[in-house]
């Protein structure tokens, strides 16, 4: 079943927010495309919730402007924006049933009773709560309560859905299920979603693009693969996961690559306009007993092995005391590998990047 919506595009230009003398957001400009799933990702205090509150109209911007489908909405009050909202622990009305909770915003809009009934019944099915419509929130699990909150937010066919860490109180399995659910609801409704999280894997799994915030500034906005594999700066690279950083010396351009030396070995990485530190993610590094014939490689000594299930994390000490980490499928780990083993860590030149 598809529920018709009217997805909108949001434009944000030079937005800033001060609380007294403290600048919580500084000069944010971005566009959220019609039907896009944008995730705001960043550490605690980076300004994600403040930004969502500005989009919702619950806070006023100190500077800058915002548009909805090209129309200025900077000073439009929250209730006139008509966005759907889901927050962590977003309170459902405890004395109302699931159906009454979902019907509530439609009643406020004075929609005809027959339309409300049909729509509530559609949405209850859509969020997988068929058979629970007459229960009260206290009779539902945490995941089911969040489904009601999602359903209530979607009931009025909002042009934009705003979600602030909606699943952070749920356990890991349930959280995974709710992420799948939100992805499906986004696909089926086609509406514009803006989702806040501080969980990197949640952001990568859900989004069409990720906006990374740090200390009130937008650091990068790009599709998940790009922010992970081609981060624009060191903060983004380190925030999204483990990263090996090798400072290059005597660098020079080599076709489309930058060539330099690290501990006397020649290494290469794509691009030459960026910095001089070669960065490579642990999962792109392989290990072997001898130096491979091609690609980048450095000798190292194993310092620790950590079994993580499907993967094993291997900590290494490289030349010049550099700490290196790589991950390897646990199933085909060389059996003689142990702390103290001398190995070669290698990776394809194309998998490195420069910071």
Give the sign of the dihedral formed by CA 257, CA 278, CA 231, CA 282. positive
Our finding on whether 212 is near ligand ATP (CB under 6 A) is no
Buried b or exposed e, range 291-322, using 16+ CB within 10 angstroms: eeeeebbbebebeebeeeeebbbbbbebeeeb
Instruction: Please select the residue that binds ligand ATP; options are 16, 45, 241, 318, rule is CB under 6 A.
Output: 45
Looking at beta carbons only, is 33 or 45 nearer to ligand ATP?
45
Min separation Cβ 19 and ligand ATP, Å? 3
Our finding on whether 47 is near ligand ATP (CB under 6 A) is yes
Looking at beta carbons only, is 58 or 284 nearer to ligand ATP?
58
Looking at beta carbons only, is 10 or 102 nearer to ligand ATP?
10
Order of all β-strands in the sheet with 265-270: 249-254, 257-262, 265-270
Our finding on whether 61 is near ligand ATP (CB under 6 A) is no
Our finding on whether 19 is near ligand ATP (CB under 6 A) is yes
Give the sign of the dihedral formed by CA 20, CA 22, CA 25, CA 27. positive
Distance of CA 273 to the CA centre of its chain: 27
β-pair type (37-41, 192-197): parallel
Phi, psi (rounded to 5 degrees) for 111: -75, 150
End-to-end CA distance of the chain: 46
Instruction: Please select the residue that binds ligand ATP; options are 1, 4, 21, 44, rule is CB under 6 A.
Output: 44
Contact 7, 190 (CB under 8 A): yes
Our finding on whether 169 is near ligand ATP (CB under 6 A) is no
Our finding on whether 166 is near ligand ATP (CB under 6 A) is no
Stretch that binds ligand ATP, among 17-25, 90-98, 269-277, 278-286 (CB under 6 A): 17-25
Spell out the residues 6+ positions from residue 205 whose beta carbon is closer than 8 angstroms to its own.
179, 183, 224
Min separation Cβ 45 and ligand ATP, Å? 4
Min separation Cβ 17 and ligand ATP, Å? 8
Instruction: Please select the residue that binds ligand ATP; options are 39, 50, 144, 146, rule is CB under 6 A.
Output: 50
Contact residues: ligand ATP, CB under 6 A = 19, 22, 24, 42, 44-50, 198
């Amino acid at each position: 079943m598809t529920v018709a919506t009217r997805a909108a595009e949001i434009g944000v230009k030079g937005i800033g927010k001060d609380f007294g003398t403290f600048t919580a957001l500084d000069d944010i400009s971005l566009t959220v495309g019609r039907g896009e799933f944008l995730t705001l990702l960043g550490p605690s205090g980076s300004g994600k919730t403040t930004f969502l509150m500005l989009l919702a109209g619950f806070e006023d911007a100190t500077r800058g402007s915002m548009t909805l489908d090209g129309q200025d909405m900077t000073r439009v009050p929250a209730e006139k924006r008509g966005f759907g909202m889901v927050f962590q622990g977003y309170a459902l009305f405890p004395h109302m049933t699931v159906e009454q909770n979902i019907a509530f915003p439609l009643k406020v809009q004075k929609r005809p009773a027959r339309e409300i009934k049909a729509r509530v019944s559609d949405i209850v099915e859509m969020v997988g709560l068929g058979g629970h419509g007459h229960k009260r929130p206290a009779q539902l699990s945490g995941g089911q309560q969040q489904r009601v909150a999602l359903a209530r937010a979607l009931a009025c066919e909002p042009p934009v859905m705003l979600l602030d860490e909606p699943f952070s109180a749920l356990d890991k399995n349930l959280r995974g299920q709710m992420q799948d659910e939100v992805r499906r609801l986004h696909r089926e409704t086609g509406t514009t979603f803006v989702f806040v999280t501080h969980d990197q894997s949640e952001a990568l799994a859900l989004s069409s693009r990720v906006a990374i915030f740090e200390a009130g500034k937008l650091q990068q906005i790009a599709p998940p693969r790009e922010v992970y594999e081609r981060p624009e700066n060191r903060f983004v690279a380190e925030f999204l996961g483990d990263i090996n950083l090798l400072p290059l010396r005597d660098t020079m351009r080599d076709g489309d690559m930058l060539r330099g030396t690290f501990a006397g070995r020649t290494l290469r990485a794509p691009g030459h306009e960026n910095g001089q530190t070669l960065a490579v993610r642990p999962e792109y590094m392989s290990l072997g007993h001898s130096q491979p014939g091609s690609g980048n490689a450095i000798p190292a000594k194993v310092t620790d092995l950590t079994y993580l299930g499907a993967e094993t994390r291997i900590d290494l000490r490289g030349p010049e005391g550099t700490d290196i980490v790589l991950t390897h499928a646990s199933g085909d780990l060389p059996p003689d590998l142990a702390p103290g083993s001398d190995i070669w860590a290698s990776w394809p030149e194309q998998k490195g990047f420069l910071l």
